[in-house]
């Protein structure tokens, strides 16, 4: 574990609050990296170096010959049974012995916290590498990926799916991390600037409740679920999840699954330019009134009676209007195949 000057400064301040004497924090090489006396930072402390070597406290009295040391006690600090640093207290060794146990424990708490933070950071980096390599279909280091797949017990023969969550407020990140960890899903990661991505297998998916999730995060996120498929086709699930997520936003709902696929989902995969080109080719000859008639006619399931009532016109008038649309477009709204093409053009006409 790398001992930074920032960490050393925090430890020195905490120990000084207890002891009140000058404090030095010395690394494994015998260099003072934190001190209440700023002039001593960066200098060599031979007594501290000796305490690391012995693994026992080194007392420094008036007759000492340790280079860079002053009277006091230098306590080695252990992490997992190995001396990694030294806390030096300046003063009369006999007066300082009472503080030995306390200051070593204070320092060890700081170091263990730092170690846990580094492990968590390393864990987050590993998961980030694993997930992004798969969802972006960008496996640049297969050996490293294989190691991570084994570490997280990911069976490449199973099926997996992606949940993409767009956060309205990035302060939700800790909440989402805790939420998915609590249901046993370790493969979740924050992607800058405001996306959270979760990878499910079939078992972890059973522990996820879209209704509960929707209730908890209503008006705070939009989420889309992609289909299950092979591990190395996870990018396809991710793209579908993003489409489902955009649809959830359009519907102003929290969660939407690609399994609820509709014509709108299909349309989203088409570039806007293509949609406009198709709609223009089919509908350009129609005026706003005729477009309205078509929309209502289709919403009434091609029922002349229901559509004429909805439009407040006579049935014969509606039939005349449909004939005019047929003449202009070459497509008959009364025929299933032609009606489908006209309806699709109306969907594209946004």
pLDDT tens digits for range 73-114: 999 999 888 899 999 999 998 888 888 888 888 888 888 888
CA separation for the pair 86, 98 (Å, rounded) = 17
Residue 81 tokens read as 């049974």
* Residue 58: DSSP 8-state: E
Query: What is the per-residue pLDDT for 30?
Result: 92
The answer on pLDDT for 133 being more than 70 is yes
Check if the beta carbon of residue 224 is closer than 8 Å to that of residue 246.
yes
Query: Is this structure's pTM higher than 0.85?
Result: no
CA separation for the pair 59, 279 (Å, rounded) = 88
For CATH 3.30.450.40, the residue range(s) in the chain are 5-114
Query: What is the per-residue pLDDT for 117?
Result: 67
Which letter, b or e, does each residue of 278-304 get, where b requires 16 or more Cβ atoms within 10 Å of its Cβ?
bbeebbeebeeebeebbebbbebeeee
Handedness of CA 180, 182, 186, 190 (dihedral sign): positive
Residue 32: pLDDT band by 50, 70, 90 thresholds? Answer: very high
Pick from 260, 245, 246: which is nearest to 213 by CA?
245
Share of the chain above pLDDT 70, in %: 96
Q: Does domain 5-114 have CATH number 3.30.450.40?
A: yes
Query: What is the per-residue pLDDT for 301?
Result: 92
Query: What is the per-residue pLDDT for 144?
Result: 86
Query: What is the per-residue pLDDT for 79?
Result: 84
Query: What is the per-residue pLDDT for 121?
Result: 58
For CATH 3.30.70.270, the residue range(s) in the chain are 154-268
* Residue 30: DSSP 8-state: S
Residue 256 tokens read as 């939407």
Residue 274 tokens read as 């293509």
Selecting from 3.30.70.270, 3.10.129.10, 3.10.20.440, 3.20.20.410, what CATH number does the domain 154-268 have?
A: 3.30.70.270
CA-based max dimension of the chain: 118
Query: What is the per-residue pLDDT for 261?
Result: 64
Query: What is the per-residue pLDDT for 251?
Result: 80
Query: What is the per-residue pLDDT for 119?
Result: 61
CA angle 120, 121, 127 (to 5 degrees): 90
* Residue 4: DSSP 8-state: -
For CATH 1.10.10.2840, the residue range(s) in the chain are 272-348
The answer on pLDDT for 276 being more than 80 is yes
**How many helices, marked H, and strands, marked E, lie in the chain?**
15, 11
Per the DSSP assignment, residues forming a β-bridge with 60 are 72
Average pLDDT, the chain: 90
The answer on pLDDT for 58 being more than 80 is yes
CA distances from 273 to 171, 270, 348 (A): 36, 8, 10
Task: Give the mean model confidence (pLDDT) for residues 188-217.
Answer: 95
Task: Give the mean model confidence (pLDDT) for residues 46-54.
Answer: 92
The second-level CATH assignment, the architecture, of 272-348 is Orthogonal Bundle (1.10)
Share of the chain above pLDDT 90, in %: 65
Residue 7: pLDDT band by 50, 70, 90 thresholds? Answer: confident
| Start-to-end C-alpha separation, the chain | 58
Check if the beta carbon of residue 101 is closer than 8 Å to that of residue 73.
no
Beta-carbon count within 10 A of 187 CB: 19
Query: What is the per-residue pLDDT for 140?
Result: 85
Kind and range of the H or E run holding 265: helix 263-268
Residue 283: pLDDT band by 50, 70, 90 thresholds? Answer: very high
Query: What is the per-residue pLDDT for 118?
Result: 66
Check if the beta carbon of residue 188 is closer than 8 Å to that of residue 196.
yes
Greater model confidence, 198 or 142: 198
Query: What is the per-residue pLDDT for 330?
Result: 96
CA separation for the pair 138, 230 (Å, rounded) = 15
SS3 annotation, 15-63: HHHHHCCCEEEEECCCEEEEECCHHHCCCECHHHHHHHHHCCCEEECCC
Max avg pLDDT among 101-110, 215-224, 245-254, 265-274: 215-224
CA separation for the pair 1, 27 (Å, rounded) = 11
**Token match 């010395």: residue?**
26
CA separation for the pair 248, 255 (Å, rounded) = 6
Beta-carbon count within 10 A of 77 CB: 25
The answer on pLDDT for 57 being more than 70 is yes
């Amino acid at each position: 574990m790398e001992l930074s000057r920032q960490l050393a400064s925090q430890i020195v301040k905490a120990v000084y609050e207890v002891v009140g004497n000058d404090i030095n924090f010395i690394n494994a090489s015998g260099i003072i990296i934190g001190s209440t006396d700023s002039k001593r930072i960066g200098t060599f402390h031979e007594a501290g170096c000796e305490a690391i070597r012995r693994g026992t406290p080194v007392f420094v009295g008036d007759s000492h010959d340790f280079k860079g040391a002053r009277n006091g006690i230098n306590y080695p600090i252990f992490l997992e049974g190995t001396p990694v640093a030294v806390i030096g207290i300046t003063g009369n060794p006999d007066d300082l012995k009472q503080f030995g146990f306390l200051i070593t424990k204070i320092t060890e708490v700081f170091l263990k916290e730092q170690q846990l933070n580094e492990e968590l950071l390393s864990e987050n980096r590993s998961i980030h590498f694993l997930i992004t390599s798969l969802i972006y279909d960008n496996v640049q280091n297969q050996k490293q990926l294989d190691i991570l797949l084994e570490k997280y017990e990911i069976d490449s023969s199973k099926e997996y799916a992606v949940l993409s969550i767009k956060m309205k407020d990035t302060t939700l990140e800790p909440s989402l991390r805790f939420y998915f960890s609590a249901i046993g899903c370790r493969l979740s990661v924050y992607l800058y600037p405001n996306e959270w991505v979760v990878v499910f297998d079939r078992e972890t998916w059973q522990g996820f409740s879209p209704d509960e999730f929707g209730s908890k995060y209503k008006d705070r996120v939009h989420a889309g679920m992609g289909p299950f498929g092979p591990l190395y086709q996870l990018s396809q699930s991710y793209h579908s999840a993003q489409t489902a997520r955009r649809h959830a936003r359009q519907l102003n709902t929290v969660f939407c699954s690609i399994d609820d696929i509709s014509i709108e989902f299909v349309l989203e995969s088409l570039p806007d330019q293509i949609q406009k080109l198709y709609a223009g080719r089919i509908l350009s000859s129609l005026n706003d009134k005729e477009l309205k008639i078509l929309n209502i006619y289709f919403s009434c399931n091609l029922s002349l009676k229901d559509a004429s009532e909805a439009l407040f016109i006579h049935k014969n008038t509606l039939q005349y209007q449909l004939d005019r649309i047929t003449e202009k477009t070459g497509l008959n709204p009364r025929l299933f195949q032609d009606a489908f093409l006209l309806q699709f053009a109306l969907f594209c006409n946004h």
